[in-house]
Amino acid sequence: MALKLHLGGCFPAGGPSKEDFLSAAPRAAVVRDKHLADVPFWQRLGGRTDLLELCQNRSNQIRQEEFDTFVVLGIGGSALGNSALIESLSPFGQEWAPTPDRPRIIVLDTIDPDWLKGFLDSVSIERCHFNVISKSGGTIETAAQFLLFYDAVKRAFDSDDAARARFTLTTDPKAGHLRSVAQECGFETLPIPAEVGGRFSVLTPVGLLMAEVAGLDTESLLAGASKTANSLEACKPESDAALAWALAHVLHLEAGRPIHVHFPYGHHLRSLADWYLQLWAESLGKREDVKGDEVFVGPTPTRAVGPTDQHSQCQLYVEGPDDKVHTFVRVGEPSWSGNIPSAFVEGIPAFEALKGRTLGELMEAERRGTEAALRAAGRPCAVLELCKLDAFHVGQYIMFCEIATAYAGGLMRVNPYNQPGVEAGKVAALALMGVEGYQEHLGEISAVLAEDENMSFSC
């Protein structure tokens, strides 16, 4: 029941060495001390059974409805955690067939009209429940989704009351437009604690309501998160796995390896990797440091999934520029060994190698083979190991990544909790939509977007 980290392959010759890593330990310990002196709210979410109870109660109410599809409306930190939980812990991602006990879960983190038309054509709208998630309550994509689907549900039932019952609004406890609408119009709501920002919010009602409705083991999820938070807080700095992983990445970043490849071996881990990508990129990619000086720093996280992407991206990783750090994420014990039958094997060497073997063995051989190829080429590799793929270990993984991100922000001297670059895009979109109060930005935005006729092509 532990998350393990192996950094033995992380310091090949020519880059930062193990000695560099060890001598940077005091710098890392200072960052950790500062973090632990004021433990962030999200680090204690594993113990917040009150938030879980709210979600359990709301889930019980929703389950009284005649519905078969639970839809998450939100974007960024208000959606990625939901995809991560459902993809990692349900039998077959979002594609599973609904049963009376377990509805289908759909995370709609887009306003793409073609995609949403496909959704509307594929579901019975009167059999859907919508969780509208927005911490700020003002994100325009989520607002557009809400207006669109509320109208569709209202028309299906021909009743505001019946339509309202099909919605939960999950937002800041006090502030924001979504909270005001809920208060004025009588929607059921769930709170996102004011202290928790979007990408750190998966263990609040943002992720927990969906997890409850889907029948995931939410108690173990939170227990895993608590276990990791507690053991990282209690250990000595030199044994802190999240600190070690953050420090290794920051040292490589400083030494010219800005691309951080998250490489899970497991199809269930794909969306967890996408969740991590947002956490790492949005928290650490910054123009200014904490003093306000321009630094333009940040790693570029990217995702590969093994073994699938061995056949698409690995060539680049092994032989391309030496600008990457790779973290394999492996599951110690797959839930199914997958014995490979032995028809057709005689006389065919490639098939004979599979005789009496399991898919689990093959998967690990593929992972180790890829690690060996990378390490032989002098490319840094870390291995993060979940003993099993279950709610407890996913909770551990989530808390590990969040704490490591906070440490990496401290080591890089940037604020991991703001996102001015995202806000700039939001403001520009509002101005382009003609929203009152944003017109003053239009001149500047139009100048930036000006097209050069001579640079447009068609074929």
Residue numbers annotated as active site:
282, 311, 426
Q: Which of 217, 167, 166, 164 is closest to 190 using CA atoms?
A: 167
CA-derived radius of gyration, the chain: 24
Could you say whether residue 266 binds ligand PA5 (CB under 6 A)?
no
Tell me the sheet residues that pair with 188. 168
Query: Under the criterion CB under 6 A, does residue 72 sit at the interface with ligand PA5?
Result: no
- Smallest separation (angstroms) from ligand PA5 to the CB of 74: 6
Please identify, using beta-carbon distances, which residue of 30 and 194 lies nearer to ligand PA5.
194
Of residues 138 through 197, those in contact with ligand PA5 by CB under 6 A are 139, 142, 197
Q: Coil, strand or helix: which one is 263?
A: strand
What does the alpha-carbon distance between residue 109 and residue 145 come to, in Å, rounded to a whole number? 9
Measured from the CB atom, is 76 or 334 closer to ligand PA5?
Answer: 76
Nearer to ligand PA5, 136 or 327 (CB): 136
Could you give the CA distance from residue 107 to residue 407 in angstroms, rounded to a whole number? 30
228, 281, 419, 431: which one contacts ligand PA5 (CB under 6 A)?
A: 419
Residue nearest to ligand PA5 (CB): 198
Judged by CB under 6 A, the chain residues 195 through 224 that form the site for ligand PA5 are: 197-199
Residue 135 Cβ, how far from ligand PA5 at the closest point, in Å?
4
> Amino acid identity, residue 145?
Q
Among 15, 16, 46, 76, binds ligand PA5 (CB under 6 A): 76
Quick check: 282 binds ligand PA5 (CB under 6 A)?
yes
Instruction: Give whichever of 109 and 240 is closer to ligand PA5, judged by the CB atom.
Output: 109
- The position carrying tokens 């059974």 is 49
Complex with ligand PA5: residue 190 or 248, whichever CB lies closer = 190
CB of 208 to ligand PA5, least distance (A): 15
Q: Record the tokens describing residue 227, joined without a space.
A: 């276990």
**Phi and psi dihedrals of 195, rounded to 5?**
-75, -10
Site track 337-376 with ligand PA5 (rule: CB under 6 A), x = hit = ----------------------------------------
Among 62, 75, 182, 272, binds ligand PA5 (CB under 6 A): 75
- Judged by beta carbon, residue 21 or residue 146, the one nearer ligand PA5 is 146
Q: Read off the tokens for 78.
A: 């208000």
For the chain, the straight-line distance linking the first and the last C-alpha, in angstroms and rounded, comes to: 57
Q: How far apart are CA 346 and CA 355, in angstroms?
A: 9
Query: Amino acid identity, residue 272?
Result: L
Positions of E strands within 312-395 = 324-333, 381-388
**263 vs 280, beta carbon nearer ligand PA5:** 280
- Least distance (Å) between residue 78 CB and ligand PA5: 4
Contact window for ligand PA5 (CB under 6 A) among 60-68, 69-77, 83-91, 119-127: 69-77
Residue 339 is given by DSSP the state: B
Query: Locate tokens 């077959």: which residue?
Result: 92
Considering only residues 115 to 144 of the shown chain, the ones binding ligand PA5 according to CB under 6 A are 134-136, 139, 142
Would you say 83 or 419 has its CB closer to ligand PA5?
419
Residue 280, CA distances (Å) to 33, 200, 428 in order: 21, 11, 24
Least Å distance, CB 106 to ligand PA5, is 18
Instruction: Give the count of residues interacting with ligand PA5 (CB under 6 A).
Output: 15
What's the closest the beta carbon of residue 225 comes to ligand PA5, in angstroms?
18
- Contact of 288 with 412, CB cutoff 8 Å: no
Q: Which is nearer to ligand PA5, 139 or 396 (CB)?
A: 139
Rounded CA gap, 146 and 102, in Å?
Answer: 24
3-6/381-388 β-pairing: antiparallel
> Looking at the chain, how many residues does it have?
459
255 alpha carbon, distance to own chain's centre: 27
> What is the nearest approach in angstroms of ligand PA5 to the Cβ of residue 22?
34
What distance in Å separates the CA atoms of residue 301 and residue 293, rounded to the nearest whole number?
24
41-60 binders of ligand PA5 (CB under 6 A) = none
CB of 342 to ligand PA5, least distance (A): 49
422 lies in the site for ligand PA5, by CB under 6 A: yes
Member of 59, 69, 78, 228 binding ligand PA5 (CB under 6 A): 78
Cβ neighbours for 139, distance < 8 A, ≥ 6 positions apart: 74, 75, 76, 78, 426
Quickly count: other Cβ atoms within 10 Å of residue 164's Cβ. Answer: 18
- Alpha-carbon gap, residue 125 to 123, rounded angstroms: 6
Q: How far is the CB of 141 from ligand PA5 (least distance, A)?
A: 8
**How far apart are alpha carbons 375 and 373 in whole angstroms?**
6
- With contacts defined by CB under 6 A, name the span among 11-19, 72-80, 309-317, 440-448 that binds ligand PA5: 72-80
Q: By the criterion CB under 6 A, which residues form the site for ligand PA5?
A: 75-78, 134-136, 139, 142, 197-199, 282, 419, 422
